[in-house]
Structures are given as C-alpha cells and as structure tokens.
Structure 1
Amino acid sequence: MWNTRLATLLAIVPALVLAVVARSEEATPITRVVFGSCIKQEQPAPIFNAMAAEDADVVLFTGDNIYADTDDMRVMHDKYQTLSQMPGFSSLIDSASVLATWDDHDFGVNDGGAAFPKRAESQKQFLDFWGVSEQSPRRNREGVYHAETFGTEGQRLQVILLDTRYFRSPLKTGARRVGGPYYPDGDASKTMLGADQWQWLEEQLRRPAEIRLIVSSIQFIAQDAGQECWANLPLERARMLNLIRETKAKGVVFISGDRHWSEISALRDQSAYPIHDITCSSLNQLHKRGTPTENRHRISDTTYHRENYGRLTINWESEDPKLAFQICDINGKPVIELPLHLSGLSK
C-alpha cells in the first residue's frame, strides 16, 4: 500500500505536487475507475482534463506512460519530468488513487523483455516517479508488479498490475504481418511473467475479492496477428486461464493497452465464466493505419482509433451488482460499451 505523494520525489518532479493516495484501508467501496495507456509526453493531452472530471476513485496507468525508448537513465528521468509538467496531468493524479504499470516504451526499449540490460535502473526510475514507498516490496524485488484491494467484504475491488516486460522471454519472429513480425511459440521454457511473479499472482488470486481487474500492458485475449500479445506464448496464456480456474478466482476482467486503438475481446469457452479483455489505447495518439489487426475474439461492434480512455462504473447497490465498462472519447462520450453483472463473472 502507498501513502505518499510524488512531491517527496524531489529528484524527479521538484516543481510539482502529484498526489498518489491509495485507499486500500477505506471502507467506502470503489464505484468509478478510469484508465488509459500510451502517452507521448511531447504531445498535448487534453484528454487528461476529461479523465480528471470523472471524479474517479482510482486512476490506472496501464503502460507506455512515457515514450522513453532509451538506456540512458538521465534521458528517461527527463521524459518523466516532461510528463509531470503536461497540462492536466497533475489535476488528474490529484483527483484519485493512482496505480501504474509499464509497457515497452517506459520500460526502455521497443518490444523489449528480459534481455534489456538497464531493466533494473529503469525500474528505479519508474518507482521513483510513481511515488512508490521505500517500504514497498517493489523496492526489493525485480519487476514492477503490484496489487491493491479496495473496499470491504461483499464490495471488494482487487487491482492486479502485471509486469509483462521484466521477465519476458524473446519472442519468435518471422515474416512480417499486418501487426508485426511475431508468431506463436510453443517453447515451454519461455515465460511471460517469470517464476516469482507467477507464484505471487497465484497468491493474489486466492485472496478474497468480488471484482478483480488484471492489468496487462499487452492484450491477453486477442489472437496473434504479428503484434505483441499473450497469444505469442500460448502456453503462458493457457497457464493464466488454468490458474484462474484452479484458484476459483471470481470477477476477473483484463484491462490492456498498447495498440493505439480500443476494442473488447472475450473468451467464452475456456474458463468457468467468460473472460473479457478491455483494450484501451491511446490517450493522445491517433492510429495511423486506422484499421485494426484481425481478432476473432473481438466482441465489440467496432474499434476506436482516436484519443480515448476507459471508464468502469460499479453499482454495488443492485441485487446483482452491475459493472459498466466504457471506452470514452476526448470529451468523455462513450464510444464502446460493455455491461456486465457480477453473477456472470463466477462459475
């Protein structure tokens, strides 16, 4: 749990007070979450204002929070500094509890994994910027994975933020397809999360919660079409589904980013209940190609390729609590929607 503010991080953001106050011990249930990914720190991001206006309880930054793409930690530091000074950013993170994970560009190298030689140094930059306490386990272990549980029995929201970069094995490459050069690899020695993170994840899934948001910076459900996704390591993807079954974890919904467009995918026959993946990207970039890669698991009627963010509203007062996932445009208008009931997220 954090109980600190980024203003203490004088080496990172000396001129800005960025509130990061977790509410894990509060009895008040979480009713609104906003989330998003992919921020070019040199470009304007007016969408921050729309997100701040949501008056959310929790804000999730789900990866590519800066485009560092460097092994020079001074350069990375300066790019985080640029993010901290973007108009609207301080208002957004002052408005709610903030949780974050990274993807490749804030990790330090495009499509990078465990081979990145500066991953430990990059982790320190990440933890410093996001105000992670010196007492946090993340300060003494490899990887930025983390979890928080909010609310009390019957109204608990668990947020599990995965690290899909620090431990990830090299991907298999081949002829470039529309989405990129990557292909599924059945090598059982390869990993997405690494042994320690897998063990930690099992422990998290065994903890009590009614709703669980698993944040994966890359898409969990989408089929492989050349891009980075869990389908490139199909044994790891199957391991995740098996773990959800074996732990009898209820309420699981994935949130992902990375693609510079938004869509919703689902697996309806490989778990005790349908598993959904809400892909939300990008906060301030347009998708140049404008057409999505093939994805047979896509269930949204459309995809959205302009600036967008995600919103989850939870109605705990209903007899069967309601979850409303929405992808929202730069003005906060929903463009993709997925209504769920809590009863549909259990066996």
Structure 2
Amino acid sequence: MKFRTTILSILFVCLCHGQTDVHHEGKVSTIAFGSCNNPRLKTKPLFDTIAGVDPDVFIFLGDNIYGDTEDMEVLKKKYAELEAVEGYRQLRDQTVVLATWDDHDYGVNDGGKNYPMKKESEKLFLDFFNEPHDSARRKRKGVYASYTFGPVGSRCQVLLLDTRYFRDPLPKVPKKDRKGSAAGWYRPTRDTDKELLGEKQWKWLEQQLQVPADVRIIASSIQVLAHEKGMENWGNVPHEQKRLFELLKKYKANHTFAISGDVHFAELSKMDLGTYPFYDLTSSGLTHSHTAWAKMENSFRLGKAFAGQNAGVIEIDWENKSLSFNILNRQAQRVIQHQVPFSELQFK
C-alpha cells in the first residue's frame, strides 16, 4: 500500500510530443512481472510469491487470462475468473498493476490484425484494468502505453508494447518440415511490408525513446531476441526487430532493456548491438510451464532456462547504480540471477 497511496493521487496524463502518457512521482526500485496466467487451472498462480517481494509495480505481459473467443460475453466471464482470484486482488491493492496483452487475452491463439473482435476486446481489456476514460489509451487503437516513475536522476520508464493489434500474419512452417521440433511453427518473413507494431505505434515509440529516463524497460508480450524456437517472436519480422535496434542506437537509449513472456518458461537473453549489451528477461508462466520448449535452442541465452512456474523481478539500486535481473520460482527462490551495472548499459 505504501507506494500506491503515495503516487496515484498525483498521477497526470501527457499527450504532448516527447512526453510520457502517464507519470507517477513516486520512485520505484522493485518491478515484478509475469505472463501466461490461466485462472481455470488447478495450479495456484504466483501472486502470493510476487506480493512477498513487495514490488512497487507489477506488469502483466499478456495471456493474463485465456479467453480465445469472439464472444465478448465469454471473454468478460474469463476476466471475472481473474478478478475472483484472491491473490490477484490482494496484489492489485498492494501495488500498481500495469498490463499489455498477448494472443490468448487478445482473443485468438497466435492472433494478429485480422482478429475481427479486436476493438471490442480492447474495450474489455481497458475496462478490466481500470483505464481512465480520458486516458491516451482510450483515444487510440491498440493497448500500447508509456509510464514514468520518479524524479529526474532516478526516473524509470516502462513502455508497454502491443504486438497483436497491428501485426500481419506470420509465414508458417509446413508440418513436414518441422523436423520433430517441439515448436517450430513460424519462420522469418522476407516481406519488408509486413508489420508488427504498425506505423502509429512506431511513431509513438520513437517519441517515447526521447523522453528522459534513467532506466527504460521495453515490455513486449513476445520475446525480442530469442528466435530459433520458431515460436512467435520479433525475429519473425526481422526488419521490425532491426528498426527497434536502430532506434535504440539513434537516441542512445542507455540503461534500456526488454522484458517478455509467452513461451511458458523463463530465460535471460543478451545480444550485443555494436558495443551495447541489450538484455531480454523472459518470464512465463504464472500458472503453467512447458519443459520441452525450455530445452530448445537460444543462441542468446545466458545460463540455463527454467521450466517451472515463475515470475520476473527487476531490482534497481539507484544508490549503487546497478540492475538485478531475477526469476523467482514458486518458493520465491531466485533460479535466475544476473547483475548489471548502469555503466555497462551505455551506447558508445
């Protein structure tokens, strides 16, 4: 309650060029996140474990429910199932909850721009997460949004991307060519007209990368770096991935990294963008995981993947100027840990 009560009363919305959508004056030091939460499964989600680290912010990265329907009454009932989870309600009361969506809460498995009920689904999503009626999100297509926390010198920006609303269909790999892979459904497109974020979201993102921030988190429902598994990821649309990297370089977006979900296991990935080490910490899932997928190739992986219920935790040490990337298991043990000083995350 400490953080929530101090900042929500001084929240404001900006729609100007170069300014964030929402700013909170309170400084954050612990940010938890997770994805792939199915309230209908018998396994208990990790909300109590997450609450135990007393996060300032919790980020839902998608598949927050498993809707998979074009019937909005069905989708509404499935949101009600999440609302009925006591651990979720307690976490929501304890901290600030931010959210984007992935395919299953968007409405269709592996769905993109062709999902016919995306406008209706968007309204349900925003209503459930108590989006203000006059917010920037309510005035544009897609659920992407930006938030800043804290004063200059210890300001954290969170960029929630929408990888569903505008995305073109992905090239599929024929079943006979999957070579027994546990996944391997998609291959990178060669068509540079194919979109992932859509032009309006790209314009918004470029503006957001010019907002002053001392730590910047890019929250993507799908993995930004890992691509060999042939699952949905940014590597399926390589020209869009390259565009992201070029924007980071252009604006020298120091102290920037990604968090992602979707794949039903956890891992930390790293790619060198020239001299800049770009990290993507993946956490999935809150209620269920997939051991076989965790064993698949990822040439960017640091250490080992973790196949089990998990949640991600980012710790920002403002005094010593460092970041800690962590994955927690059900017992709140840190099964993945990695320390990164601010000085490492600098564009030369």
| Pairwise same-fold verdict (TM > 0.5) | yes
- Who is 1:73 aligned against? 72
Secondary structure at 2:133 match in 1:
coil
Q: Deviations over 1:223-275 (max 9, x none)?
A: 2322111111100000000011112211111000000000011111x244100
- Who is 1:289 aligned against? 292
- Who is 1:277 aligned against? 280
- Pair 1:282–1:21, CA change in 2 (3 A): farther
Q: Shift of the alpha carbon at 1:98?
A: 1.0
The CA distance in 1 between the partners of 2:297 and 2:10, in whole Å, is 38
- Pair 1:296–1:205, CA change in 2 (3 A): same
- Higher mean Cα deviation, 118-127 or 177-186? 177-186
- Who is 2:346 aligned against? 346
- Who is 1:262 aligned against? 266
C-alpha contact 2:112 2:165 (8 A) present in aligned 1: yes
- Who is 1:193 aligned against? 197
The CA distance in 2 between the partners of 1:28 and 1:106, in whole Å, is 30
Q: Shift of the alpha carbon at 1:279?
A: 0.6
- Who is 2:18 aligned against? none
- Pair 1:124–1:22, CA change in 2 (3 A): farther
The CA distance in 1 between the partners of 2:99 and 2:84, in whole Å, is 18
C-alpha contact 2:173 2:184 (8 A) present in aligned 1: no
The CA distance in 2 between the partners of 1:284 and 1:22, in whole Å, is 34
Q: Shift of the alpha carbon at 1:188?
A: 1.1
- Pair 1:97–1:224, CA change in 2 (3 A): same
- Who is 1:58 aligned against? 57
- Who is 2:332 aligned against? 332
Q: How does 1:127-276 map to 2 (within 5 A)?
A: 127-176=126-175, 177=178, 178=181, 179-268=183-272, 270-276=273-279
The CA distance in 2 between the partners of 1:22 and 1:171, in whole Å, is 42
The CA distance in 2 between the partners of 1:108 and 1:114, in whole Å, is 11
- Who is 1:14 aligned against? none
C-alpha contact 1:46 1:87 (8 A) present in aligned 2: no
Amino acid at match of 2:324: A
Amino acid at match of 2:81: T
Q: How does 1:3-18 map to 2 (within 5 A)?
A: none
- Who is 1:312 aligned against? 314
In the superposition, the TM-score normalised over structure 1's length comes to 0.90
Q: How many residues of Structure 1 are paired with residues of Structure 2 in the alignment?
A: 327
Q: Shift of the alpha carbon at 1:28?
A: 3.8
1:302 aligns with 2:304: yes
**4+ residue runs of structure 1 moved beyond 4 angstroms?**
20-27
Q: Shift of the alpha carbon at 1:67?
A: 0.4
C-alpha contact 2:23 2:147 (8 A) present in aligned 1: no
The CA distance in 1 between the partners of 2:295 and 2:147, in whole Å, is 33
The CA distance in 2 between the partners of 1:152 and 1:118, in whole Å, is 40
- Pair 1:334–1:70, CA change in 2 (3 A): same
Q: Deviations over 1:55-74 (max 9, x none)?
A: 11100011100000001000
Secondary structure at 2:276 match in 1:
coil
Q: Shift of the alpha carbon at 1:87?
A: 2.8
Secondary structure at 1:277 match in 2:
strand
Q: Shift of the alpha carbon at 1:289?
A: 2.9
Amino acid at match of 1:330: R
Structure 1 unmatched runs, 5+: 6-19
In the superposition, the TM-score normalised over structure 2's length comes to 0.90
Secondary structure at 2:313 match in 1:
strand
The CA distance in 1 between the partners of 2:103 and 2:56, in whole Å, is 27
CA RMSD of aligned residues (A): 1.9
Q: Shift of the alpha carbon at 1:333?
A: 0.8
Structure 2 unmatched runs, 5+: 12-21
- Pair 1:25–1:227, CA change in 2 (3 A): closer
C-alpha contact 2:265 2:291 (8 A) present in aligned 1: no
Amino acid at match of 1:148: Y
- Who is 1:35 aligned against? 33
1:113 aligns with 2:116: no
